């Protein structure tokens, strides 16, 4: 097995085929034959990865590639030479920046090598020019956190180089790349959201010299594509390649070569201009952002108010074949809607997959509604030309209810379905979907009554977007005041304080006994001292805890000798959404947007089950994944980690990740709960939004994920939500998450948190304030100061417990139960003294 060593990037490039013909092959490693052999090696020096996991990663990355335009130029085939332009063909962006991508990966394919491996006849002379220039002009990767480059400066392109390449090849491929990440927003600048002058010059030169040009965009975020239209027929095909991890370039090569027909679909709307996005005027403020667009996020806004502002609609994506979709059955029974569609490959040459998407147009009643919102979807298997398959899309009508936060329907703080026609549209994207079935409700139905929670603060009033009709009945934007909070938080908390379990002292009950059914969890908790309860409420002070695998993100659970003596084992957490971030080598998987763009939860589940097996091998108990915040704005730096502008796609994709990971006995930890939609001043920024938008858009994906997959852990976000930091947010975590949704897992903070005193209970500060909200564990456990994170534990829990009106024993025991349920859920629970 040969390995290529890229010294400039400190990556090992491992070709899986001898077709790669360049590079230094002198570096080689003996293959590992078994898991038993792996266990005898140092994990941080063993680059062997599971080939089945690599194959699934490539398959998922391939299905996530979205073909936006094609005049027949693609697929390339292997007969004619292809000239590849752009340095990103070599300096490939495999993932975004920060904890969601910083994996010690043993190899990453670039596109040049992948095209050769796929049998594409790359113009070698041009490739040599780019290879030499790239080797001499290595990307400058600033080591400062959050200061990584959005792009790599392009090679100046001499006209004679282009003309010479055009004399040898008929088709050109132009590769453009972008990256953003944690603490690193995209920006409205050339080289980030917009093209650079050198990139435009390259496109101008290439499209003038070649009759057929393909553009490949290697990015984790949506960027400006309005320039595509300016080239007209000079650009024949456009491929959006979301960052696909270590196998991503091979996935792109498989699509370009025709080995696989593209089947990815957009999970975001691509507008003609950034200014067209409804969030544009309320994004990026370091102090706060008003979510004035309310529920009209992404396609909900564009399809309702501004369809002419859309360049590529939500759910859109082409293949190399054509498909006919016919609804053959539609019915509703026992509150469920069931739509059966027959999908036929009507092309003559290429097999492919198609996604059937169902949208609902709810009646425009007392509550404003978008003209369409996604109700369900299903993807076919691989269909040969002429082959058909019937797919079923089924969902509960109650899941389409809207939340009344003002009482305009007569039912404040309730989920309702308004009277009238609920029309279901079926198609292959939001724009092409056609009416297929109608459910008529004769009167308003109250689906679920809840209680006001996390509503906007009266101290910061603002207005929100609503739908009104003009004289001709067309939808127009109007604004109304956002309802503000009316419930007393103090009274709510006092009414729900838990009873204490009478302390017993140590009776010799171990957690192993609870696992075996020989003792109750409450009996075990009754033994714990206040000090031990406080230890369960924080991690082991630092990242890279000596209690876990080297390079871990932090350890919780058995962080003290006394807890370990009682059978509470240390629980190791690791990043993250694109791979296990430890000192060991690990797989780098497709980014969140790539996975969601497959519209194939079954494939995501299969991939992440294999990933869970890698967690077991690498020593990770809890994967800090999936990232599932909404793509509210295309400039958010961490959009690559997240899935979509739509909560249904987000929730079902996240559920698939959790189901896969947890199928092998480890845990997934969805994040960031909630409303973490920008990186600018993320630890202090206040997300101000209506309760309706909070519940229907920003919490809905989490609710679906919890209902479908029962994640064993959940992470809060850094930001405030309507004035309260999420790690102190009783309404979010206790009232909604645990009270309404019934969640019993462990809730942890993002790494470190902001100091604060409970405004209603002054005897509670910092970690005591957090525990009252049922945010169970401070991670990694140390104190954050103005000088940065410190490696010593916070004592505010014990200080508060000693005060009148402070944290109660029952609250500490409640948090301990939440944490211990996580420990018990991890297989196996071993004797911590062994």
Q: What is the pLDDT, as a whole number, of residue 18?
A: 27
Q: Which residues contact 517 (CB under 8 A, 6 or more apart)?
A: none
Q: Which whole-number Å values give the CA distances from 20 to 144, 250, 260, in the listed order?
A: 34, 12, 20
Structural domains in the chain, CATH included, are 4-31+65-260 (3.40.50.1700), 290-481 (2.60.40.10), 489-825 (3.20.20.300)
Ordered DSSP codes for 318-368:
B-SS-EEEEEEEEEEETTEEEEEEEEEE--SS--B--EEEEEEE---SSS-
Q: What is the pLDDT, as a whole number, of residue 79?
A: 77
CB atoms within 10 A of CB 822: 24
Q: Which residues contact 597 (CB under 8 A, 6 or more apart)?
A: 63, 64, 65, 66, 242, 264, 265, 266, 267, 317
Q: Which residues pair with 783 in a beta bridge?
A: 790
List of the chain residues with pLDDT < 50: 1-43, 829-834
- Answer whether 725's CB lies under 8 Å from 719's CB: yes
Strand order in the sheet with 336-345: 323-333, 336-345, 388-396
Q: What is the pLDDT, as a whole number, of residue 709?
A: 98
As to burial, measured by CB atoms within 10 angstroms (0-12 exposed, 13-18 middle, 19+ buried), residue 824 is middle
**Given 750, 766, 776, 794, which residue is catalytic?**
750
Is residue 750 annotated as part of the catalytic site, yes or no? yes
Q: What is the pLDDT, as a whole number, of residue 301?
A: 98
Distance in angstroms (rounded) separating the CA atoms of residues 440 and 34: 60
Q: What is the pLDDT, as a whole number, of residue 143?
A: 64
Distance in angstroms (rounded) separating the CA atoms of residues 775 and 725: 11
Residue with tokens 């040009």: 213
Q: Which residues contact 421 (CB under 8 A, 6 or more apart)?
A: 363, 438, 439, 440
Per-residue pLDDT tens digits for 792-826: 888 899 999 999 999 999 999 999 999 999 999 99
Distance in angstroms (rounded) separating the CA atoms of residues 354 and 97: 32
Reference 119, options 173, 148, 78; nearest CA is 78
Q: What is the pLDDT, as a whole number, of residue 830?
A: 40
Ordered DSSP codes for 202-268:
HHHHHHHH-SEEEEEEEESS----THHHHTGGG--EEEEEE--GGGHHHHHHHHHHTSS------SS
Q: What is the pLDDT, as a whole number, of residue 792?
A: 80
Three-state SS sequence of 46-74: CCCCCHHHHHHHHHHHHHHCEEEEECCCC
Token output for 544? 């890279």
Distance in angstroms (rounded) separating the CA atoms of residues 556 and 592: 26
Global pTM value = 0.94
């Amino acid at each position: 097995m040969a390995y290529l060593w890229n010294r400039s990037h400190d990556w090992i490039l491992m070709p899986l085929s001898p077709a790669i013909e360049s590079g230094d092959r002198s570096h080689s490693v003996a293959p590992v034959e078994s898991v038993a052999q792996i266990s005898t090696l140092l994990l941080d020096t063993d680059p062997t990865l599971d080939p089945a996991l690599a194959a699934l990663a490539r398959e998922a990355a391939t299905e996530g590639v979205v073909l936006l335009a094609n005049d027949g130029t693609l697929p390339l085939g292997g007969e004619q030479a292809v000239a590849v332009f752009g340095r990103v063909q070599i300096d490939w962006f495999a993932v975004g920046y920060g904890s969601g991508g910083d994996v010690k990966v043993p190899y990453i394919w670039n596109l040049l090598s992948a095209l050769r491996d796929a049998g594409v006849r790359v113009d070698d002379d041009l490739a040599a020019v780019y290879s030499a220039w790239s080797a001499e002009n290595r990307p400058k990767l600033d080591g400062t956190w959050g200061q990584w480059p959005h792009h790599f400066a392009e090679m100046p392109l001499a006209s004679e180089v282009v003309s010479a390449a055009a004399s040898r090849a008929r088709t050109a491929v132009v590769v453009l790349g972008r990256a953003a990440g944690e603490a690193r927003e995209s920006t409205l600048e050339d080289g980030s959201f917009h093209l650079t002058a050198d990139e435009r010059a390259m496109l101008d030169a290439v499209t003038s010299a070649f009759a057929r040009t393909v553009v490949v965009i290697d990015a984790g975020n949506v960027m400006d594509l309005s320039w595509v239209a300016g080239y007209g027929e000079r650009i024949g095909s456009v491929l959006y390649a979301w960052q696909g991890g270590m196998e991503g370039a091979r996935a792109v090569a498989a699509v370009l070569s025709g080995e696989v027909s593209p089947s990815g679909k957009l999970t975001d709307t691509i507008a003609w201009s950034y200014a067209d996005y409804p969030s544009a005027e309320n994004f990026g403020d370091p102090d706060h952002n008003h979510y004035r667009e309310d529920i009209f996020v992404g396609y909900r806004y564009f399809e309702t108010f501004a369809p002419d502002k859309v360049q590529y609609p939500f759910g859109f994506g082409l293949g190399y074949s054509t498909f006919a979709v016919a609804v053959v059955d539609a019915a509703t029974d026992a509150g469920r809607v069931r739509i059966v569609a027959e999908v036929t490959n009507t092309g003559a040459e290429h097999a492919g997959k198609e996604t059937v998407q169902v949208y609902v147009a709810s009646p425009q009643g007392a509550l404003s509604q978008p003209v369409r919102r996604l109700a369900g979807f299903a993807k076919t298997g691989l269909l040969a030309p002429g082959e058909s398959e019937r797919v079923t899309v089924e969902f509960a009508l109650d899941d389409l209810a809207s939340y009344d936060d003002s009482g305009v329907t007569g039912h404040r703080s309730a989920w309702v379905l308004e009277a009238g026609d609920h029309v279901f549209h079926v198609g292959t994207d939001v724009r092409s979907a056609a009416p297929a079935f109608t459910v008529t409700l004769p009167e308003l139905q109250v689906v679920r009554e809840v209680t006001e929670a996390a509503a906007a603060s009266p101290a910061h009033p603002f207005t929100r977007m609503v739908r009104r009709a003009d004289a001709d009945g067309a939808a127009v934007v109007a604004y109304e005041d956002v309802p503000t909070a009316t419930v007393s938080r103090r009274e709510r908390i006092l009414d729900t304080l838990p009873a204490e379990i009478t302390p017993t002292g140590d009776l010799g009950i171990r957690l192993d006994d609870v696992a075996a059914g020989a003792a109750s969890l409450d009996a075990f908790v009754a033994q714990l001292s206040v000090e031990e309860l406080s230890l369960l409420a924080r991690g082991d002070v630092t990242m890279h805890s000596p209690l876990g695998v080297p390079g871990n993100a932090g350890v919780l659970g058995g962080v003290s000798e006394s807890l370990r003596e009682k059978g509470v084992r240390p629980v190791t957490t690791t990043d993250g959404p694109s791979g296990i971030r430890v000192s060991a080598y690990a797989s780098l998987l497709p980014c969140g947007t790539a996975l969601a763009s497959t519209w194939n939860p079954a494939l995501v589940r299969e991939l992440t089950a294999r990933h869970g097996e890698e967690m077991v091998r690498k020593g990770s108990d809890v994967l800090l994944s999936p990232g599932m915040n909404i793509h509210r704005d295309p400039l958010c730096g961490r959009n690559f980690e997240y899935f979509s502008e739509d909560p249904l796609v987000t929730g079902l994709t996240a559920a698939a990740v959790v189901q896969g990971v947890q199928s092998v006995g480890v845990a997934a930890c969805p994040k960031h709960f909630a409303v973490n939609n920008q990186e600018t001043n993320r630890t202090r920024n206040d997300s101000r939004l209506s309760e309706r938008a909070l519940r229907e858009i920003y919490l809905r994906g989490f609710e679906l994920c919890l209902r479908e997959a029962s994640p064993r852990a959940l992470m809060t976000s850094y930001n405030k939500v309507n004035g309260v930091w999420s790690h102190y947010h009783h309404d979010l975590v206790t009232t909604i998450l645990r009270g309404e949704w019934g969640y019993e897992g462990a809730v942890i903070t993002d790494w470190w948190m902001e100091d604060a005193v409970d405004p209603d209970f002054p005897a509670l500060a910092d970690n005591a304030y957090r525990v009252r909200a049922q945010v169970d564990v401070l991670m990694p456990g140390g104190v954050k100061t103005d000088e940065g994170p410190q490696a010593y534990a916070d004592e505010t829990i014990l200080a508060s417990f000693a005060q009148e009106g402070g944290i109660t024993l029952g609250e500490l025991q409640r948090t301990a139960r939440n944490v211990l349920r996580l420990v018990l859920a991890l297989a196996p629970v071993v004797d911590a003294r062994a």
